[in-house]
Structure 1
């Protein structure tokens, strides 16, 4: 029986970008990311028009068309988006997990514009960067496990 390494999903969740959607193919057990631009373009591509595109775009458009046409089969399942992962909430939870002086300092750091940059700078200056990345990975692991179970996807836990 096929299964995917949980770390593959976690690695994808770590690299999410707003302008890409990431899909898991239930038949091949492969993960692919497609730009939202190419997904939109794939909706308008006429038959025979694919050959007018460079090979690297054509490949992505073929995959995008397969994803868009897959509504009935359910072969492609979208991974959680950057918004669903909610990095800000993970930073906030991490902050609350710290002892009082560091906790209040981190919570002030993530308030307002530039929170992500300030948070990163602060965890480095507080020498808790490794602790943060371990915590973040654990949270992404929970999201990945939940996603696999919701979508009936077999996985191997690589802990």
Structure 2
């Protein structure tokens, strides 16, 4: 029996003094027991727990995982300044600690940094718990796809520089202008695969106006660009999913032709592209 580590993490984060989670070590099923449920439902759950008692392990909750300790450690690791002082005040103000902590994070634009840190801490706690209880687990990335907005420009610049092998800030101004203008004008549709509060994979289609032809009477051509993916996620289908979404958007915008340069042959062929000289091309069937 092998269980998805994310299911373990969800149960740990959801556990409270009134909500308990039990793991069936034979089947991998997780049973939730909530004190606030109606008596009949609660009795059914208790009967199930009694039936499989020898195979069940009571799972830890967020308090066992040390959520407050995580918050304090995150704060201590920050550089001295107003944000750190505000978080320390929130942590030492008694009841409502977590709500105030999250408010301060948002006020200082530290919420994404915190959620990534928190996620890493829960992942490590869940791994340690599984290993201590001899539970086999696997880590399956949960990807959320969305289109980029101007709030993503800073991260897109960093990924583009990584793709180009540029470490200094010599291209920052031009890249900022490129992404900001293209996204604002609707001439770039960037798809992001979001995982663990960061970009795990991304790709885009840009629209270029060219002289009209019989094939393209409106003179528009789409170009796949700005592709990047985390090394550990390569070969798992995320690039294919991004291309699929980009082509769907191209159809929605009634773009007849899409081209691509410097893309993997197997990736392009699987998406229906054919090669002409050094360029991959596909003609979309528009309704």
Under a length normalisation based on structure 1, what TM-score does the superposition of the two structures give? 0.77
Partner residue, 2:89: 108
Alpha-carbon shift at residue 58 of structure 1 (Å): 4.1
Alpha-carbon shift at residue 106 of structure 1 (Å): 1.3
Contact preservation (8 Å) 1:18, 1:82: no
Across the aligned residues of Structure 1 and Structure 2, the Cα RMSD in angstroms comes to 2.0
Under a length normalisation based on structure 2, what TM-score does the superposition of the two structures give? 0.45
1:121 aligns with 2:120: no
1:41-76 deviation per Cα after TM superposition (whole angstroms, max 9, x unaligned): xxxxxxxxxxxx74x344312223235xx3xx4x11
Alpha-carbon shift at residue 84 of structure 1 (Å): 1.0
Q: Distance in 2 between matches of 1:5 and 1:93?
A: 27
Runs of 4+ in 1 over 4 A off after TM superposition: none
Q: 1:77 aligns with which of 47, 57, 75?
A: 57
Mapping for residues 24-63 of structure 1, pairs under 5 Å: 24-36=23-35, 54=40, 56-63=41-48
Q: Distance in 2 between matches of 1:94 and 1:66?
A: 42
Partner residue, 2:118: 136
Q: How many residues align?
A: 138
Q: Distance in 1 between matches of 2:88 and 2:35?
A: 34
Contact preservation (8 Å) 2:74, 2:117: yes
Higher fraction of helix? 1
Higher fraction of strand? 2
Q: Distance in 1 between matches of 2:77 and 2:7?
A: 27
Structure possessing the higher relative contact order (Cα contacts under 8 Å, 6 or more residues apart): 1
- Which has more radius of gyration? 2
Unaligned runs of 5+ in 2: 142-287
Alpha-carbon shift at residue 12 of structure 1 (Å): 1.5
